[in-house]
């Protein structure tokens, strides 16, 4: 594989590998160093994230699962109160084990909808397109592989039905609050009056519970972070030694920011594509991921600040997680 190092003329589309290369070089030559957590999810990363969701310490999946299994009827009612014929667009569906309960309930309620799962991972979409029709034969679905906004626009071009957008799993936590607001405004700009958005937020809670969720004893979250270095080695011909980096998560209860770093254990050089050298000081961190936590009040503020009308939040019995329904 050859990688283009110079920027192409404006308007010329970049290959995904070129974009990956440029993002990695930008992040690793910045001060402080960072990598974009959206790149965690290659085939190995998808598997590791599945394992994280099985970890005893990782509570968000169970909390949101409880909301989906126990309150699917109420969620379906909240949607039906707005529209009975719509496009259901899910951003980052994962294996859809949570949303399948809502899909089932929506079918059961007799609503007329097509399900459009959107994911950047071809893996995720092809797996869903095989698995979902077997589980829900009555489901009309069309998987879309690509960037969220491009694909949301694509759905808007394909049909003029009202849209119900799902952005669950606390994926919004991977943005800083400022970027999250920007993201919501951008989503809002793709939506029409009456359209709905349901967003999953991991809520503020005891700091130890949060930190442990990103510091599991089995070391899966550590492997998940280190896997991005392995991916960079493979796809961008780099020479990271993953033994020379250590996973270090922190949670700040003041800001609600849970951040993961990989700390360089020694002073070292890492090479990319044989032409870029990245120097690490001993104990220098790479910022890998933010998982922002919110209070319920902050989710309401977020809706109001980004052009939405907050309707209801569905929370689990522990009050640890919220799926919030907003209307344009
Ligand atoms: C998929 C963004 C919800 O931040 O909790 C889990 C990803 N990272 N453990 C999260 C993740 C480390 C996860 N989200």
Say what the ipTM of the complex is: 0.99
Backbone angles phi, psi at 102, to 5 degrees: -70, -45
Write the pLDDT tens digit of every residue in 2-15: 444 555 566 666 78
- The predicted model gives 156-184 an average pLDDT of 96
In terms of Cα–Cα distance, which of 131, 129, 81 is closest to 106? 81
- Of ligand 1's atoms, which has the minimum distance to the CA of residue 170? 3
Task: Say whether pLDDT at 37 is over 90.
Answer: yes
Closest atom of ligand 1 to 258 CA is 4
- Point out the ligand 1 atom lying closest to the alpha carbon of residue 94: 1
Q: pLDDT class for 1, splitting at 50, 70, 90? A: very low
Task: Give the residue carrying structure tokens 């220098």.
Answer: 284
Closest Cα to atom 1 of ligand 1: 171
Residue 280, beta-bridge partner list = 268
Residue-level pLDDT at 11: 60
Q: How many angstroms does the Cα of residue 4 sit away from the middle of ligand 1? A: 31
Q: CA 271, 272, 276: angle at the middle one, nearest 5?
A: 75
Q: What is the pLDDT of residue 247?
A: 98
Please tell me the distance between residue 291's alpha carbon and the centre of ligand 1 in angstroms.
6
Taking all residues of the chain, what is their mean pLDDT, rounded to a whole number? Answer: 94
Q: Identify the residue whose tokens are 């998808």.
A: 46
pLDDT greater than 90 at residue 165: yes
For residue 2, the model assigns a pLDDT of: 46
Report how far ligand 1's centroid is from the alpha carbon of 209 (Å).
14
User: How far does residue 83's CA lie from ligand 1's centre (Å)?
Assistant: 31
Do β-strands 257-264 and 245-252 pair in parallel, antiparallel, or remain unpaired?
antiparallel
Tokens of 56: 């005893």
Q: How far is the CA of 233 from the centre of ligand 1 (A)?
A: 23
Assess whether the C-beta atom of 299 lies below 6 angstroms from ligand 1: no
pTM of the model: 0.92
- Maximum separation of any 2 CA atoms in the chain, in Å: 62
Q: What percent of the chain has pLDDT over 90?
A: 90
Q: How far is the CA of 84 from the centre of ligand 1 (A)?
A: 33
Q: Is 291 in the pocket of ligand 1 (CB under 6 A)?
A: yes
For 84-136, write each residue's pLDDT tens digit. 999 999 999 988 999 999 999 999 999 999 999 999 888 889 999 999 999 99
Q: Tell whether ligand 1 has an atom less than 6 A from the beta carbon of residue 238.
A: no
Here the tokens at position 220 are 């899966």
Nearest CA to ligand 1 atom 2: 171
């Amino acid at each position: 594989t050859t990688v283009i190092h110079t920027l192409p003329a404006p308007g010329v589309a970049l290959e995904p590998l070129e974009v990956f290369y440029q993002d990695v070089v930008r992040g690793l030559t910045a001060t402080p160093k960072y990598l974009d957590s959206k790149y965690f999810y290659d085939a190995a990363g998808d598997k590791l994230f599945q394992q994280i969701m099985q970890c005893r310490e990782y509570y968000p999946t169970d909390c949101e699962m409880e909301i989906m299994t126990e309150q699917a009827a109420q969620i379906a009612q909240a949607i039906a109160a707005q529209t009975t014929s719509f496009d259901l667009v899910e951003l980052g569906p994962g294996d859809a084990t949570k949303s399948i309960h809502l899909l089932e309930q929506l079918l059961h309620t007799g609503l007329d909808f097509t399900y459009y799962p959107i994911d950047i991972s071809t893996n995720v979409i092809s797996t869903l397109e095989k698995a979902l029709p077997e589980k829900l034969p009555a489901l009309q679905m069309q998987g879309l592989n690509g960037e969220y906004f491009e694909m949301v626009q694509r759905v808007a071009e394909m049909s003029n039905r009202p849209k119900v957008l799902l952005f669950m799993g606390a994926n919004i936590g991977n943005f800083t609050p400022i970027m999250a607001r920007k993201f919501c405004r951008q989503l809002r700009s793709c939506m029409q009056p009456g359209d709905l958005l349901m967003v999953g937020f991991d809520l503020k809670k005891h700091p130890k519970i949060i930190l442990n969720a990103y510091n599991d004893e089995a070391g899966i979250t550590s492997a998940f972070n280190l896997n991005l270095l392995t991916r960079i080695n493979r796809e961008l011909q780099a020479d990271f030694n993953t033994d020379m980096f250590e996973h270090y998560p922190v949670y700040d209860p003041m800001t609600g920011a849970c951040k993961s770093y990989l700390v360089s254990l020694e002073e070292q050089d890492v090479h990319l594509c044989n032409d870029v050298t990245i120097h690490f000081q001993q104990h220098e961190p790479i910022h890998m991921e933010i998982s922002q936590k919110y209070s319920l009040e902050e989710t309401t503020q977020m809706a109001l600040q980004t052009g939405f009308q907050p309707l209801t939040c569905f929370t689990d019995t522990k009050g640890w997680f919220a799926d919030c329904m907003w209307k344009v």
